[in-house]
Copies of this chain bind each other. A is one copy, B any other.
């Protein structure tokens, strides 16, 4: 048995939006799969297995939606599964696709995910829905919401390292600016740090412009063994190949109050650090900031991105704030973070997010991101997602290789 190399054959992402009144989650997923099939240059009937990614029955108003989507995209009667891991769902789906391919259960797989969070009636409704994914017995019951949990975490970061509100406001400015380079982004904005600081408080220190978006949208990706891609994709050999080289996963307690103290403490994402460690070992990465060229991080709140810089080893603990302020991870730096606009600028339909991140990395590694959005010479990229407050974390790594 020879080593099975896993490649991305193609991917597609719908426009993320809060006003997709024209489309429900089924329509959105069909749209994304069609884009992925066209990008891959394959016939969907050749693809052997489906994998559905969505977070919740609530958000999509349907139970066992995986079976329905499998039918809507035309993959019945072939095998399917649904994977869920809160905010990490899309990345976990790709990780699981890797396992199915590597383990030989199939040679090709289409991973498709969507969510209609934008259709929540109001943002207050959305907060309540998301609160259902905190601990319903011990957190939601006392009125907890996710913005408040994240606020608690960044407050501890501020206390410990002197991180400032202006520092994490820089993340919001950068990502919303980057969204302007991406035609599929939900809400590009040309704003300043002062605009962020002056926006309405949600759960202090987080203000409206520190918070990511509520979105409707879908994303899809076709992955396969290299041998399958060579045999079935018309585009194979005509552009750089993107390999799926590593994946890591870590978990943490749902309740913040249950986490070990003082180490690593509330300021950090333990699960993310563990996920990154596994993925780096698999990819042979010792110095992520040097060895990676581009990364899509899970910026559910602006401060979370600078916390991720640290947990992923892009900088030392406590240096996330200064790094954001100095724009170390902006275009022109060693490592460009969130060229797509991230959750803050591109949007965040939960089940699609992790897949959309990987599609962005795919485009970057192929040199097809276009214009100002393209990270010049990108050869290796990472995606980072998490559920809850880092309760379930997945890091995936992709590499451009010669055919």
Residues of A within 8 A of B (CB): 1-3, 49-50, 55-58, 61-64, 66-68, 70-71, 75-86, 92, 95-96, 98-105, 132-133, 135-137, 247-254, 258, 270-271, 274-275, 278, 387-388, 391-392
Contact = CB atoms under 8 A, between A and B. Distances in A.
A130 to B, nearest CB: 8
Given A64-B133, A67-B254, 17 more contacts: A56-B63, A62-B135, A62-B137, A63-B136, A64-B85, A64-B387, A66-B392, A78-B251, A79-B248, A81-B92, A82-B84, A82-B85, A96-B99, A99-B99, A99-B100, A101-B103, A103-B103
A129 to B, nearest CB: 8
Nearest to A59: B63
A56 B56 CA distance: 9
Nearest to A264: B77
Contacts of A391: 64, 67
A56 to B, nearest CB: 6
B55 A58 contact: no
17 contacts: A1-B3, A55-B63, A58-B63, A63-B133, A64-B254, A71-B251, A71-B253, A76-B252, A79-B278, A80-B249, A81-B83, A81-B85, A81-B96, A83-B84, A96-B96, A99-B99, A102-B105
A392 B67 contact: yes
Each complex incorporates copies of this chain amounting to: 2
Contacts of A135: 62, 68
B251 A75 contact: yes
- Most chain-B Cβ atoms within 10 A of its Cβ — which of A75, A96, A137? A96
Shortest beta-carbon contacts, A-B, top 9: A102-B103, A103-B103, A79-B249, A63-B133, A64-B86, A99-B103, A67-B391, A64-B133, A99-B99
B270 A80 contact: no
Contact of A392 (B61, B64, B388): B64
B77 A271 contact: yes
B86 A83 contact: no
Given A96-B99, A98-B105, A67 B85 contact: yes
A6 to B, nearest CB: 9
Nearest to A76: B251
A72 to B, nearest CB: 9
A272 to B, nearest CB: 10
Contacts of A85: 64, 66-67, 80-82
- Most chain-B Cβ atoms within 10 A of its Cβ — which of A76, A136, A250? A76
A61 B57 CA distance: 12
A132 B102 contact: no
Given A67-B85, A101-B103, A80 B136 contact: no
A132 B58 contact: no
A258 B275 CA distance: 42
B103 A64 contact: no
A387 B64 CA distance: 8
Given A67-B86, A77-B250, A81-B85, A61 B136 contact: yes
A3 B104 CA distance: 11
A64 B251 contact: no
